[in-house]
Amino acid sequence: MIILFSIHLLASICLCYWILELVPFVPETAGGAIIAFFFSITLLWLICYLFSKRYFKLVVQIMYLCKYFVKEFIRSNIRLTKEIITPKINLHPAVVKVPLQLRTDVGVMVLTNISNLTPGTLVVGISDDRKHLFVHTIYLEGGTLETFKKYMRDGLEKRLLNISSLSLSGVEIQTSGGGDSDSITKIKNSNKK
């Protein structure tokens, strides 16, 4: 998928350059370049649908994730700004142990980084078995721990699970576990059989 995305991006840049050079009604300004780039990336993305429907769906899921993150980012910033401006403090800080459904290192890393970018939440740790995140929040969503866990599970994690299910295409890579020594032992045992 990364190779396909790289090819898609390079082809879009080339098509954008071609549009700017050969199409007379597109202005050669920054705005014209942005419009040409978005047109070319969208056109090539629609053409990719003919060859790889999974890639097409993956891009849609990534767009949903970006939309959700931007919405949460703006909402959190507005909420934090209101908290700073008003004299009354309405903070409900807590450290919550959130169960994880993501099992890949990349998925957990992306969830952690996106959660840290949202104002008011900070991932302070991951359990040793990598099945729980410890999230510090200054606003306990809904006022209860279970509501906050549901908020985390149904928000970013659900969207990341959708993306990982499309990008892995049935091959589940589980990197969390006992480390390299356990993996090497499992490989040796499977080769002996």
Cα distances from 190 to residues 133, 151, 170, 182, 183, in angstroms, run: 32, 40, 21, 12, 11
C-alpha 159/C-alpha 87 separation (Å) is: 36
C-alpha 172/C-alpha 170 separation (Å) is: 6
Q: Is the dihedral of CA 19, 23, 29, 35 positive or negative?
A: negative
Any residues with CB less than 8 A from the CB of 184 and at least 6 apart, and which?
Answer: none
Residue 177: predicted pLDDT? 46
pLDDT per position as a tens digit, 144-162:
888 888 888 888 899 998 8
Any residues with CB less than 8 A from the CB of 102 and at least 6 apart, and which?
Answer: 108, 111, 157, 160, 161, 164
Domain boundary assignment for the chain: 88-177
pLDDT band at 190 (very low <50, low <70, confident <90, very high): low
Cα distances from 145 to residues 92, 93, 127, 151, in angstroms, run: 11, 11, 18, 10
Any residues with CB less than 8 A from the CB of 50 and at least 6 apart, and which?
Answer: none
pLDDT per position as a tens digit, 76-109:
899 888 888 988 888 888 899 999 998 888 888 9
pLDDT per position as a tens digit, 2-57:
677 777 778 888 888 888 888 887 777 888 888 888 888 888 888 877 877 887 78
Burial of 72 (0-12, 13-18, 19+ CB in 10 A): buried
Residue 68: predicted pLDDT? 92
